């Protein structure tokens, strides 16, 4: 029972309080790049969530059974990047086969998940936080859900803004950055919710 | 050697091999069947992914060609040869894709023309045209306020000191934005190799043109008579050139009394028939002034007095027996 509470706490805190995009400022590139349409933004979020969950699981295994067992913690970066790159390749092939439309919509941002710092950040945070296997998977899944939520919210706002009366000087990137800042501040409100 | 090295190499190598095997397996399982022609066409393209065709890269252009969205000759970089091969793969015809450049068909700048009024309004040709057809007396000419300059996405067109647009041939891609932007319709796209241009768009009678514009076409028709290939016709008081027929001999520019015709090439100084001549009489038949004499199967001769040095015989000769000497 206590473990279940712990898992829920980890999930909620990753999604809301320590949201990867809005409070850790990781993964800003796709957050700004693919957030023009809710549909593609959501798909991007799903792809990222998928990669994050798998990354969390595989990096925990590699870290525990290879790196820690052989006392090679300095190889974390190298091995994590290999795993992430392969996973993204795999997801790309999978999406290309299963949904060519989605593949086209995601475009260059799909291979760019590889260089999405949120994913490497996640992989590096797992050993730092000392999570066990299940906790890591929940942590990875939560991070993905948090990312999906942030990017979808952003896309929704930007879609509405398309018809808004934005001053010329703020059109495009500037107003997007301002929104991102306000969203981040709003999410700070969650920080008193629970403490892990 | 310390164990840590061995462990590092072995663990990372093993990990890499494992993932590679997994990806290799996935590549086979999730293989997407693609139209073979796309790959074939992609091989023929330059592969620079420059985007000049308007697509994201060579691969997407190849896909668009197969889907019929793009023309086989849509890639300006790969050249004609590739376009013909691509058309062959698709089983369609293609036209030559010679690069075209924007040409301004007006040479009446501030210095050469008279004006009826002074325009002080919005700095735009479209706006100026609404005010009694612009400053200049000539209602067909360039208004000089630079709508074409603003429209050009490559900064290839600039209004010069004389108030006329100048095209930078290096930068011009022949996209046609300026052609659409010009309210006077005096910009046209001409093949890069064409060296003869009639720089006037006025349909006014010659008498009126003489009064208002120095280099304007007066519709005298001298060029029409001179042209050995009938590439120029008179359309409503204006000489119009057909770039496909023109052989760039420059004769019309020489004859033009007002200088409306701009010839940028070199005139032919002398034409010689070499010993390679097989005496087929093709050139003699083609010569517009009957300056070539010769019997069948004997080397022909050119009558220097009659010859107008148009170069048509050179184009006609099948055995390269005619040599052209150009002026410096």
Q: Is residue B96 scored above 60 in pLDDT?
A: no
Mean pLDDT (chain B) is 86
Q: Quote the distance between the C-alpha of residue A122 and its chain's center.
A: 8
A35: closest CA of chain B, how far (Å): 20
Residues 6+ apart with CB under 8 A from B70: B53, B54, B55, B61, B64
Q: Using the beta-carbon criterion (under 8 Å), do A93 and B16 form an inter-chain contact?
A: no
Structural domains of chain B ordered from first start: 36-90 (1.10.15.40), 100-263 (3.30.70.20), 268-326 (3.30.70.20)
Q: In whole angstroms, how large is the CA radius of gyration of chain A?
A: 17
The b/e string for A167-187 (b: 16+ C-beta within 10 A; e otherwise) is eeeeeeeebbeebbeebeeeb
What pLDDT is attached to residue B94? 65
B167: closest CA of chain A, how far (Å): 32
What pLDDT is attached to residue B1? 61
Banded model confidence at residue A154, pLDDT cuts 50, 70, 90: very high
Q: How far apart are CA B166 and CA B117, in angstroms?
A: 24
Q: What is the pLDDT of residues B234-267, one digit of tens each?
A: 988 999 999 888 888 888 998 899 989 999 888 8
Q: Is residue A57 scored above 60 in pLDDT?
A: yes
Is B15 touching A (CB cutoff 8 A)?
Answer: yes
Q: What is the pLDDT of residues A93-116, one digit of tens each?
A: 888 888 888 787 776 667 778 878
- Proportion of chain B in helix, strand, coil states, percent, rounded to 5: 30, 15, 55
Q: Is residue A196 scored above 60 in pLDDT?
A: no
Residues of B in contact with A66 (CB under 8 A): 11, 15
Q: Compute the average pLDDT of residues B45-61.
A: 76
Least CA distance to B31: which residue of chain A? A97
Q: How far apart are CA A1 and CA A9, in angstroms?
A: 12
Is B257 touching A (CB cutoff 8 A)?
Answer: no
Q: How far apart are CA B200 and CA B211, in angstroms?
A: 15
What pLDDT is attached to residue B267? 84
Q: In whole angstroms, how large is the CA radius of gyration of chain B?
A: 29
Q: Comparing B86 with B52, which gets the higher pLDDT? A: B86
Residue A51 β-bridge partners: none
Q: A72, A81, A85, A91: which to substitute to probe chain B, counting the most B Cβ within 10 Å?
A: A72
Residues of A in contact with B59 (CB under 8 A): none
Q: Residue A130: left if φ>0, alpha if ψ -120 to 50, beta else—which one?
A: left
Residues 6+ apart with CB under 8 A from B151: B177, B178, B180, B181
B261: closest CA of chain A, how far (Å): 47
Q: pTM of the prediction?
A: 0.51
Q: Using the beta-carbon criterion (under 8 Å), do B19 and A83 form an inter-chain contact?
A: yes
Cβ–Cβ < 8 Å for A148, A46 = yes
Q: Using the beta-carbon criterion (under 8 Å), do B23 and A86 form an inter-chain contact?
A: yes
What pLDDT is attached to residue B89? 84
Q: Using the beta-carbon criterion (under 8 Å), do B12 and A70 form an inter-chain contact?
A: no
Cβ–Cβ < 8 Å for B264, B195 = yes
Q: Using the beta-carbon criterion (under 8 Å), do A78 and B22 form an inter-chain contact?
A: no
Q: Residue B51: left if φ>0, alpha if ψ -120 to 50, beta else—which one?
A: left
Least CA distance to B5: which residue of chain A? A72
B41: closest CA of chain A, how far (Å): 20
Across the interface, of B7, B11, B22, the residue whose CB is closest to A86 is: B22
Helix (H) or strand (E) holding B159: strand B157-159
Is B12 touching A (CB cutoff 8 A)?
Answer: yes
Is B27 touching A (CB cutoff 8 A)?
Answer: yes
Across the interface, of B12, B23, B32, the residue whose CB is closest to A97 is: B32
Is A72 touching B (CB cutoff 8 A)?
Answer: yes
B115: closest CA of chain A, how far (Å): 39
Least CA distance to A79: which residue of chain B? B12
Q: Is residue A152 scored above 90 in pLDDT?
A: yes
Q: How far apart are CA B83 and CA B86, in angstroms?
A: 5
């Amino acid at each position: 029972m206590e473990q279940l509470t712990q898992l829920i706490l980890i999930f909620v805190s990753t999604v809301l309080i320590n949201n990867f995009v809005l409070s850790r400022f990781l993964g800003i590139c796709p957050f700004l790049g693919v957030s023009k349409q809710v549909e593609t933004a959501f798909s991007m979020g799903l792809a990222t969530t998928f990669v994050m969950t798998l990354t969390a699981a595989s990096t925990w295994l590699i870290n525990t059974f290879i790196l820690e067992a052989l006392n090679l913690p300095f190889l974390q970066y190298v091995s994590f990047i290999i795993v992430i790159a392969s996973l993204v390749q795999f997801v790309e092939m999978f999406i290309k086969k299963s949904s060519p439309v989605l593949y086209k919509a995601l475009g260059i941002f799909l291979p760019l998940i590889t260089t999405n710092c949120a994913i490497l950040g996640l992989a590096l945070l797992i050993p730092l936080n000392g999570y066990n296997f299940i906790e890591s998977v929940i942590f990875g899944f939560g991070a993905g859900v948090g990312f999906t939520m942030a990017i979808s919210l952003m896309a929704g706002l930007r879609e509405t803004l398309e018809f808004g009366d934005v001053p010329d000087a703020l059109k495009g990137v500037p107003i997007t950055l301002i929104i991102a800042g306000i969203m981040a501040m709003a999410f700070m409100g969650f920080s008193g919710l629970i403490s892990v | 050697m310390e164990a840590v090295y061995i462990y590092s190499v072995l663990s990372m190598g093993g990990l890499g091999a494992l993932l590679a095997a997994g990806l290799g397996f996935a590549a086979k399982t999730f293989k997407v069947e693609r139209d073979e022609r796309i790959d074939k066409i992609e091989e023929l393209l330059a592969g620079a992914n420059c985007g000049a065709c308007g697509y994201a890269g060579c691969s997407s252009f190849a896909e668009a060609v197969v889907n019929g969205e793009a023309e086989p000759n849509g890639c300006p970089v790969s050249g004609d040869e590739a376009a013909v091969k691509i058309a062959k793969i698709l089983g369609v015809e293609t036209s030559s894709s010679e690069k075209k450049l924007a040409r301004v068909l007006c040479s009446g700048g501030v210095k050469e023309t008279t004006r009826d009024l002074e325009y002080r309004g919005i700095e735009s040709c479209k706006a100026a045209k609404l005010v009694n057809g612009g400053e200049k007396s000539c209602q067909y000419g360039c208004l000089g306020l630079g709508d074409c300059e603003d429209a050009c996405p490559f900064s290839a067109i600039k209004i010069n000191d004389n108030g006329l647009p100048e095209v930078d041939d290096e930068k011009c891609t022949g996209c046609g934005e300026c052609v659409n932007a010009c309210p006077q319709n005096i910009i046209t796209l001409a093949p890069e190799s064409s060296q003869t241009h009639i720089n006037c768009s006025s349909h006014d009678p010659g008498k009126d043109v003489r009064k208002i514009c120095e280099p304007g076409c007066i519709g005298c028709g001298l060029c029409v008579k001179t042209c050995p290939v009938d590439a120029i016709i008179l359309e409503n008081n204006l000489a119009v050139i057909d770039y496909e027929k023109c052989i760039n001999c420059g004769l019309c520019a020489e004859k033009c009394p007002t200088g409306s015709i701009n010839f940028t090439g070199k005139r032919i100084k002398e034409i010689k028939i070499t010993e390679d001549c097989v005496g087929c009489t093709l050139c003699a038949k083609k010569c517009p002034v009957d300056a070539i004499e010769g019997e069948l199967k004997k080397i022909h001769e050119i009558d220097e007095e009659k010859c107008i040095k148009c170069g048509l015989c050179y184009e006609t000769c099948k055995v390269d027996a005619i040599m052209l000497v150009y002026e410096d």
